[in-house]
Structures are given as structure tokens and as C-alpha cells.
Chain A
């Protein structure tokens, strides 16, 4: 039994932590978020130079051969800074689909650019009628000779605005909610028939609605096999939930610690707020649930790396449930214990709180995963 990070992982952790500390004060984050492309391209290049973008890719693909634990280490630190750069969208999601399903030639065409940061990806899986069900897909792909013609709509796609390629889940056969019959395509973002409607999200990031009209995609852009895309889709979603879980844990840590610090500084009734027992206990609960989320994160991540798929899947449902539920709990109480200051945009905690609310809405909320776990 050993919960220690490897020497290498520890070094990555330290370097990401230092990067966040040096670059990610609230003011710069707000400024980067407001300006196109919605994040800091210098930061993105730094992340590439420091090798972080190559972490989860095999050495044979030009990466560092890392796994979910390495991504966890990075994402937890990113959560502490509320990082805007599209690591999740481009590396974990888009890159995750490509590395799993791309042909050797497609990978060698695409992955070097993904890893050096010059090429960004997005992952378009959500559709309105589906709510949180990955396998509820109505976007169609119809074969025409060597190509497929795609039609449909995708929702809340992160990083579509800056991506050069977008992974799109489509239905090539079967009924609307069948797991069989889903096919993934790597579509050029500037292809004819792709229309983006871009907008900000409440956490300071950006997303797009994508209309797909008669978009022709060559068959060599299929990820995995025709009709067998769900397996990849689900694996990418699992990796994304682990990454989001790690980010959430980092975010929660900032929230509970900021609250502990604030209540010691702020005085009312001639005492620091931290003297009041009811607030002490509330902060203890925040701390306990943060630790529980962290434990679940470790558990789910290790199961994903080592365990059998069914066990890992269950642990991931558990993780997403916990970080959703306690994300709200910790976020709402951090705000409450800051009083009026908690609801201003001036302090960073409100921004961290909003990110946790968004994390709950991605890939299924706390309720959804509770039901999946129980099923």
C-alpha cells in the first residue's frame, strides 16, 4: 500500500503548483477570460514546453507515457488556479479519443501538434434530448462512397472556438439510445457545414453550440470502428470525470482554506468569526467532505489505472457523485461564511464556487451518477 507520488510525479506537481502560484492570480485570470481566445496562449505554450500536454500519450505517439494518475496530479493543481487553458478539452477529451481510436497514420498526422500545443481539439458528445446520456445520439452519419455525411447538432462543446479538429459522436445505425451503432469522427472545425455559436460559460470559460449540416468527412477520419464508438466515448468520459474530479478537489481545497483564513481575520462582536463554534463545525464538515472527495478521487483513479473496468466504472460514478454533492456543499458554505463578501466578484472564492457548479453539470450531475451507481 502506497499513496506516495513517484519522484517524477512529485516534480510535475511542484512545477504545476509553482506555475499556478506565479501566473494565476484572480485579476490575470479574469483578464485572460475576457479576451479572445478566452485563455492565455503564452500559458498554453508554456504548458507544452514543460511537457504537460504530452503526459497522457504513449511514448510511441510522442508523449510521455503517463496515465490517469499523472493527469490527476496536473488537474488537481489546475483546480487550485482555476486554469482556463484547454487541457481537459484538447488533451484529455479530444486527445483521449484520438489516441484510443485514431489509425496510426491519423495519429502521426495529428498528435505531434496536439502535444506541442499548436493543434487544439474539442470533443462534441452532448445533445439536447440526451440530457446526460452519452449513448443518446441523434446526429447522423450516412455513408456515401468513401466518405460519410454528417447532420445534427451538438451542445455545450468546450474549446470548439479554438480547436482545429472536433471529435463528433454520430449515429450510424441502431435506435436513438443504443450503445451499438455510434461512430466517432474527427471533423475539421472549418469544414463546410459546421456552424459554431460561441458563448461564455458561468465559470469564465467558453463553449459552443455546433450545427452540423451535410458535413462530408472521409472514412479515414473515423476513430475506432464504425458502430463501435461508444466504448471510446465512454472511456474518454471516464478519463474526463477523473480529471474533473481532480480539478474539483483542488478547487475545494482553495475554498475551504480561504474560508478558514477569512474567518480568522474577520471580526464581528469583538471576536474573529472563527471563534464561533457553529462556524468551526461547519468548516470541519467542509474539510471532512473535501478529504472524502480526495480519497474517492484516489480510489477511482487507481481503479482506472489498475482495476477491472466494472469496478473502476463504479468508483468513477461514486467520485462524480461525491464531487458534485460536496462541490455544492463546500462552495455554498464558503460563500455563506464569507457573508456579503462571499457574493462579490471581488474575492476569488465566488469564482471557485461557480466552477464547482459547472463541474457538477458536466458528464452527469450528482443525482445522475448516484442512480448509475445504484443501478
Chain B
């Protein structure tokens, strides 16, 4: 065991920092142009635009330590806005189960961020019980296309997406996990309708999506008909590892302390309040430990293994930490946390703090709700069986 960064690691970190500072967003310039260029430059660095992709597919092939360094640095730098659906979720599936034609067709546009994807898994009746999807896909008589009918719910960014990857039901005769087929199709076409769902903070990020007689060519099916569940399950583990957000929490924790120091209380600030200080300290300790849990999981992943049960631990702990930071921000905001106008009142961080707190409640619901994550650990890690109930 050794936690010293090697000379190569230190110079890698320098290089990453240099890259970030050389490519900061120049205020006033067109954001989308800068964004496209940023990813292009990162690509030229040798796959820095897709850090988690394997080297065979153009990823950087970093060591676990390099991944860790990257994570740490990205949280501090301001990177272009990115959605996880294409690069982080669909791409690994395409690499593992897509055919060569599909890889060539989809991966380049995913990589350049030219095409935005959304994840069409959940439905009204298929949340935690994802295998319960009912959206129907029927193969045409000539075997050239599927006809898709049904609806998805909670689809993040569907209103901004060009394409959707979708779990559909092609066979309802056997057990639920069988008979699910994984399809890809464009969102901008007749028969696809998107309706917003407004969440607690008053914002619109999730949607209901309705399909009426949507024709999907068989070339857009990943793998075999009826095997979609297997493909999706592998992907879920990828999604979960991405959701812990520890390096983001490290930065958020620093910001939290800074905010607390800006809040006056008696003769001092909120950071002099013993009760508040203790809660911040507890949080910091949990985060320190979780960082090493993540490192340990990275190290084992470097042997080539798929993300394992650690990803469930990380998702649980990481999202809980994020929620605690948000709650402490609301506490720091005090009376001003209630203000909900178009501009901040009293304390500059309070308005965003409440918005962040409310949004954070979903962190323990999506990507596998916490109760279900604990089931996964109970079953797969502790080897516990449940009685029939």
C-alpha cells in the first residue's frame, strides 16, 4: 500500500491542470462553440474527452490513480456542461453488445456530443421494478422493423434529446426479465410526444414520453431480441458508479464552509457555532473515508473487472453525503432559505441552496433507490436471502 503519487502521476496532474487552465471558458464567447472545441481539444490529448472509455475505443487507458486525479481536478475546474446518457451510459453498452456497424454509426456522434441521448427505461409501472416495462415493440411481418407503442416516465432531458435508448417488451409470455428488447430511435419523429414533469424546485428536467406507432428498424436493436435486460443491467452498474459525485462533494464542502463563514452569528460566524461545526466535521470525515472506498473500487476495476458491489456502496454513501451538504446549506441560509423569488434575498447563496436541497432529494431515488441499493448489497455482498415476502 502506498498513497504517494509517483513522479509520473504528479506530472500527469500538472498536465491536467494546465489543460484546464488553457481551455477555460472565455467570458462572452459563444458557449456551444467553446464546448465543441473543448471536447475536440480533449480528444486530441488522447481520449480526454471520454476518460472512462477503454483504449480500444479511443479512451485514454489511464491507471486508477490517473482517473482519481482527473476526478479531483475536474471538480475544481469548470468543464463544459455534459449529460451522462450518451458517453457514460449508452456507449459502454454499444461497446459490449452493439455490432460493429452500430458502433461506427453511433459512437462518433456520442463522443463529439453532437447527438444528445436520453434514457428510456422507467415507466409509470416500472420504477424500482424495472423489469416490469410494458412499452410494446412488435416485429413487422417482414422482420424489418419494430412497431413501438407505450410510454416512458421520468425521462431526463427527453425534451432536449435527439435519440432515446429504450427498453421495450417484445415478449410477455415468460418471466419479466425475459422478453425485453433494447432499441434505439430518434426523438424527432411523428408518434413521439414529450410532456414535462415539474419537480419540487419548480424546474423541468424530467418528462413523460409517449410512443404511438413508432417504427424502429431492426438495425437499431442492440444484441438479440429479448435479451435487453441483460444489457441494461450491466449499464446500471455504470450509471451507479457515476452517481456518487465524491469529488464534486469535496468542492461543495469547501464552498459550504466558506458560506458558513459569511453568515454572522453573535460575535462570530456560523463556523464558530459548535453544533454546526460538528456537523460539518462529521460530513468531512465520511467524505474522507468514501474517497478511499472509491479509490479501492477504482483499483479493483483496473484489473478489468466490471464495477462490482462497491458501486452500490458508493452510490448510497455518495448521494447521502451530497444530500447532507445540501441540507447544511439550507441551515446556513437560515431565514433566507425560505426566500424563493427571482433573485437572492439576504444571503447570496440561500436561493440556490434551497433549490439544490430540493433537487438533491431525487439523488436517493433515481439510479436505483437507496432501499433497493441496500437490497443489492444484502444479496450480492452479504449473501443474504429473503423469505418469500
Contacts and interface: CB of A to CB of B under 8 A. Distances in A.
Interface of A: 126, 128-129, 131-133, 136, 155-156, 177, 197, 199-203, 207, 209, 267-271, 275-279, 328, 332, 335-336, 339-340, 342-346, 350, 353-354, 357-358, 361-362, 365, 367, 370-371
Contact of B338 (A129, A278, A339, A358): A358
B128 A332 contact: no
A342 B371 contact: no
Given A209-B346, A268-B128, A343-B199, A278 B371 contact: yes
B266 A133 contact: yes
A202 B275 contact: no
Contacts of B202: 345
Contacts of B249: none
Contacts of B343: 199
B319 to A, nearest CB: 11
B151 interface: no
A177 B266 contact: yes
Contacts of B371: 276, 278-279, 336
Max chain A C-beta neighbours (<10 A), residue from B202, B276, B341: B341
A343 B341 contact: no
B334 A199 contact: no
B361 A268 contact: no
Contact of A156 (B122, B276, B336, B389): B336
8 contacts: A200-B340, A202-B358, A268-B128, A332-B361, A336-B364, A336-B371, A345-B202, A365-B331
B365 A275 contact: no
B197 interface: yes
Interface string B343-377: 10111000000100110011011100111001000
B325 to A, nearest CB: 14
B5 interface: no
B339 A207 contact: yes
Contacts of B153: 340
Nearest to A370: B275
B381 interface: no
Contacts of A277: 389
A328 B354 contact: no
Closest 9 CB pairs between A and B? A199-B341, A268-B129, A202-B340, A201-B338, A358-B338, A156-B335, A367-B275, A269-B129, A131-B265
Nearest to B275: A367
A365 B369 CA distance: 29
A354 B358 contact: yes
Interface residues of B, number: 53
A159 B345 CA distance: 16
Contacts of A199: 339-343, 345
Given A128-B346, A201-B338, A354-B200, 13 more contacts: A199-B339, A268-B127, A268-B128, A332-B361, A336-B364, A339-B365, A340-B366, A344-B199, A345-B198, A345-B200, A346-B197, A346-B198, A367-B331
Contacts of A332: 361
A348 to B, nearest CB: 12
B264 interface: yes
B340 A344 contact: no
Given A354-B200, A361-B335, A155 B346 contact: yes
B220 to A, nearest CB: 27
B337 interface: yes
A230 to B, nearest CB: 16
B327 interface: yes
A131 B264 contact: yes
Given A343-B362, A358-B338, A278 B374 contact: yes
A231 B18 CA distance: 61
Contact of A342 (B337, B365, B370): B365
A82 B154 CA distance: 27
Given A132-B334, A278-B374, A371 B275 contact: yes
A205 to B, nearest CB: 8
B206 to A, nearest CB: 8
Contacts of B276: 367
A159 B340 CA distance: 15
A201 B340 contact: yes
A131 B270 contact: yes
Nearest to A270: B129
B330 interface: yes
A104 B364 CA distance: 57
B374 A344 contact: no
Interface in B193-208: 197-200, 202, 206
Interface string B251-265: 000000000000111
Nearest to A268: B129
Given A336-B361, A345-B202, A362-B335, A202 B374 contact: no
A362 B374 CA distance: 36
A173 to B, nearest CB: 20
B233 to A, nearest CB: 16
A149 B350 CA distance: 32
A279 B330 CA distance: 27
Contacts of A370: 275
Given A131-B263, A365-B331, A339 B128 contact: yes
Contacts of B125: 267
A156 B374 contact: no
A340 B122 contact: yes
Nearest to A338: B365
Contacts of A129: 264
Contact of B334 (A276, A328, A335, A361): A361
A136 B265 CA distance: 10
A353 B327 CA distance: 14
Given A336-B361, A339-B365, A339-B369, A156 B132 contact: no
Nearest to B355: A202
Contact of A365 (B154, B334, B345): B334
B358 to A, nearest CB: 7
Nearest to B357: A357
A340 B127 contact: yes
A64 to B, nearest CB: 31
